[in-house]
Amino acid sequence: MADASHQPGWFSRSRPVRWLGLVGRVESREPSLVGEPIGERGGSAVPWWAMTTNPEVSVALLHPGQMGASIGAALRRAGHEVGWAADGRSQATRQRAVTAGLVQRTTVADLVGEADVVMSICPPHAALDVASQVATLGFSGTYVDANALAPTTAAKMARMVEAAGAVFVDGDIIGGPVRPGGGTRLYLSGPGAGGVAALFTGPDDPEVVVLGDDPVAASTLKMCYAAWTKGTSALLLTIDAAARRGGVREALVAEWERTQPDVPVRLRAAVAGTPAKAWRFAGEMEEIAATFADAGLPDDFAHGAAEVYRRLTHFKDGPTADGATVADAAGRPAPG
């Protein structure tokens, strides 16, 4: 770890972090030090690197999928060491890790044992298992979950990792994998959010937005945002399948082009981009359903969207399918 004797103020950065109130108002672009030790909830919310000039932080990335590898590369550009665990991972994952400049370790235990920060970026259905594995290893640094989870799932995870002595930071990634000009945003919340935000310093990194101390605000935002983006994609694919089966698709598209010209564009985008990701989206829609139910709202249409995505899971890693093929799959019950 870097020498902590220099204390210039822990937001000495080349780029300011956005701090938002929970109603969305920008309160400050140069925040003062926030975050007190959180006692029984975990370790100190003010990490050592927050009090150090140009620190090199050791980050364990679980796991380098397309999004995770791009976040790892951003942390590498900021001067941090970013590792990954190779055990049981695919050749495609290995190649992404090499391209991103990540340091290979064999097992999760090897990786976590050296880390100041664990950052979990994985499919929603695997997120609790990843957190449980890290907590079982006794990790006591900062645990960042940047997955699409219901607030109640995130709160359960927070209790799990904090019981092992770690600080939990809730995260939410909106946008595609990080690239110059890509507009990817990383929302963070919880008492330790500012320390995690300070890790990202480059102009091509994700834009970091700190939502405050609420430990699950980032997850709540993600669920509400994805309910629209992924929910409407599932709805459009379902409508397309129904129109094809009823023999009125041509008339429907013509009417959309006349009265709602953005809808055919959105449908084409859903057909082109959604099926290959449907294996991840099914779990995310179930988390959205849980978010609605916990808020006392109807959750049936989120469950319905999850079922649509389950019917499309076989498109993972396959070639882009045409609209008729996707519509046919959406109309068939999911295997098993």
User: Given pLDDT bands bounded at 50, 70 and 90, which one contains residue 241?
Assistant: very high
Cα–Cα dist 197/182, whole Å: 18
Output the CA torsion sign for 224, 229, 231, 235. positive
Q: What is the pTM of this model?
A: 0.85
Cα–Cα dist 196/209, whole Å: 11
Domain boundaries, the chain: 18-215, 221-330
Strands 142-145 and 81-85: unpaired
Q: Determine the topology of domain 18-215 in CATH.
A: Rossmann fold (3.40.50)
Give the pLDDT score at 31: 34
6-62 pLDDT, tens digit per residue, is 332 333 334 445 555 443 322 333 333 333 333 334 556 678 777 776 778 999 999
Q: How many residues does the chain have?
A: 336
Closest-CA residue to 288 (of 221, 223, 219): 223
Over residues 320-333, the mean pLDDT reads: 94
Q: 171: helix, coil or strand?
A: strand
Whether the pLDDT of residue 284 is over 90: the answer is yes
Whether the pLDDT of residue 106 is over 70: the answer is yes
Q: What is the CATH code for 221-330?
A: 1.10.1040.10
